[in-house]
Structure 1
Amino acid sequence: MKLIVLPFAGGNKYSYSFFRKTMPTVEIINLEYPGRGARMKEPLLDDIDEIVDDIHLLIKNNVTNEEPFSIYGHSMGGLIGYLVSIKMQKDNEIKPKCLIVSGRYSPTINNSESTYDLPSETFWQSVFDLEGTPVEIANEEKLRSLFEPILRNDFKVIETYSPRNLLLLETPIEVLYGQKESIDQLSFFHKWNEVSSKPVNFHEFEGGHFFILNKQKEVSELIQNVLERESK
């Protein structure tokens, strides 16, 4: 089964490079949004519907009607994965066998944060607090100036998203989260069970928002088990 992988805010198709080592038998399809990585020359998109349309097209280009696939996304990638899955269902297209999200609370919750328009120093402190920034970026001002517009754009996409009255997803969902997320977010993760008519399972990991970076083996094993289950 193919696994479509969607990056978190500021990420690109190389953000989950460890998956190729930890899940060598899975066909990983790493996609990325415009304006970063191999798509650096394309303009950034700050409209979530345009991003969903873009990723939807990329998935259709990578998966035939006969091929089973699942979608995984962390944080922003989880939200985009959900909205793309809804779009495919609404358009009567082949649906993912499973949606796997990590570090993203339910899309039924209104965002209460606004960091994308903060002054640079304060903005970067908010980014560092998530504990997912590569050391080379954190320690190099020139690299931060390169990535800041991308991060601000993606944070804007996430923070200005408003819940919508959408169809119930007819796809099972696996929700992964770090136990050190804020108290509010921990309760919001469990509201994913409100958006699907299929089973929704929850998995708590030690760590904060970017627990996936420190729990690569455990996260990969869980995902691989889910893919094997959905392949039967």
Structure 2
Amino acid sequence: MKIIAFTFAGGSRYSFQMFSKKISHFIVEEYPGRGLRIKEKMLTEIDMIIEDLLPKVIKEIETTKEYIIYGHSMGALIGFLICHRLQELEIKSPLKLVVSGRNDPSLKRDKKIADLPNIQFWEEVIKIGGIPDELKKHPELIDFYVPILKADFKAIEDYHYEKSEKLKVPIDVFYGKSEGISENEIEGWKNHSTEKVVLNSLEGNHFFIYDNESFFVNYFESLTTNIHIPIN
């Protein structure tokens, strides 16, 4: 069974190495303009990103009987929308959608920062916990990452939710207890599927997936081997 994964804003396939190195068939779909796709033009609209990724996801689906979709933060929104497109096209749905670090996708973003000057933008991203600790230790990388982050934030901030048919896929939702997402904002995920939606809080900030690496490795392995491990 494959896990098809989508990273957070500014991320690349290397952002999920802690999973892909330990879990078989953990496949990270990379956005244009970073990682192995660094020479491609970055996209600043969610719909364009979805249309770019969709054929790549379908190609992966064609070579597996069952699969799971996972995304963190921006990747959670991407995964959610990919599931909708697959359902609309009547293509085999995932056994489960797993999302982390993202509130109810129907909620509007109150604050927009993508158009700020670079230094101010970087400071705002740090304030909202949008940069992993490891990256904060290397300020010399700011000039490289800011254009990528701005493109991703632009896509997220300009996204407008459109109500559509509910997913027919169970959803596991994870969020960090210290990342500033309220229970009410998380509860909204239950409105997006006809199947069971399980909400789970873990210790940590927006990048709690790194603080809970062992937990997630075991969790993903349990999904791919069909061994049930209680998560709530």
**Residue of structure 1 equivalent to 2:208:** 211
CA distance in 2 between counterparts of 1:166 and 1:37 reads: 33
The gaps in structure 2 that reach 5 residues or longer are none
1:222–1:57 Cα change, 3 Å: same
Paired residues in the alignment total 227
Write out per-residue CA displacement over residues 153-190 of structure 1, whole angstroms, 9 at most, x where no aligned residue: 1011111111111110000000000001225x442111
- 1:105 and 2:98 aligned: no
1:140–1:88 Cα change, 3 Å: same
- Sequence identity of aligned pairs in percent? 35
Partner SS, residue 16 of structure 2: coil
Q: Is the 8 A contact 2:2 2:64 kept in 1?
A: no
CA distance in 2 between counterparts of 1:230 and 1:165 reads: 34
Write out per-residue CA displacement over residues 198-230 of structure 1, whole angstroms, 9 at most, x where no aligned residue: 000011100111100111111222233344449
CA distance in 2 between counterparts of 1:199 and 1:88 reads: 19
- 1:120 and 2:118 aligned: yes
Partner SS, residue 18 of structure 1: helix
Q: Is the 8 A contact 2:20 2:27 kept in 1?
A: no
1:29–1:21 Cα change, 3 Å: closer
1:124–1:220 Cα change, 3 Å: same
CA distance in 2 between counterparts of 1:226 and 1:122 reads: 41
Q: Which residues in structure 2 correspond to 1:41-80 (within 5 Å)?
A: 41-64=39-62, 67-80=65-78
1:151–1:18 Cα change, 3 Å: same
Write out per-residue CA displacement over residues 130-168 of structure 1, whole angstroms, 9 at most, x where no aligned residue: 164353564333x21011000011011111111111110
Judge which range, 2-11 or 132-141, deviates more.
Answer: 132-141
- 1:10 and 2:19 aligned: no
Partner SS, residue 86 of structure 1: helix
Q: Is the 8 A contact 1:74 1:101 kept in 2?
A: yes
Q: Which of 199, 202, 205 lines up with 1:202 in the alignment?
A: 199
Question: TM-score, with normalisation over the residues of structure 1?
Answer: 0.91
Q: What is the one-letter code of the residue matched to 2:79?
A: G
- 1:135 and 2:134 aligned: yes
CA distance in 1 between counterparts of 2:74 and 2:161 reads: 14
Q: What is the one-letter code of the residue matched to 1:166?
A: S
Q: What is the one-letter code of the residue matched to 1:7?
A: T
Question: TM-score, with normalisation over the residues of structure 2?
Answer: 0.91
Partner SS, residue 99 of structure 2: strand
CA distance in 1 between counterparts of 2:227 and 2:215 reads: 19
CA distance in 2 between counterparts of 1:19 and 1:66 reads: 19
Q: Is the 8 A contact 2:114 2:121 kept in 1?
A: yes
Judge which range, 143-152 or 218-227, deviates more.
Answer: 218-227
1:75–1:150 Cα change, 3 Å: same
Q: Is the 8 A contact 2:45 2:159 kept in 1?
A: no
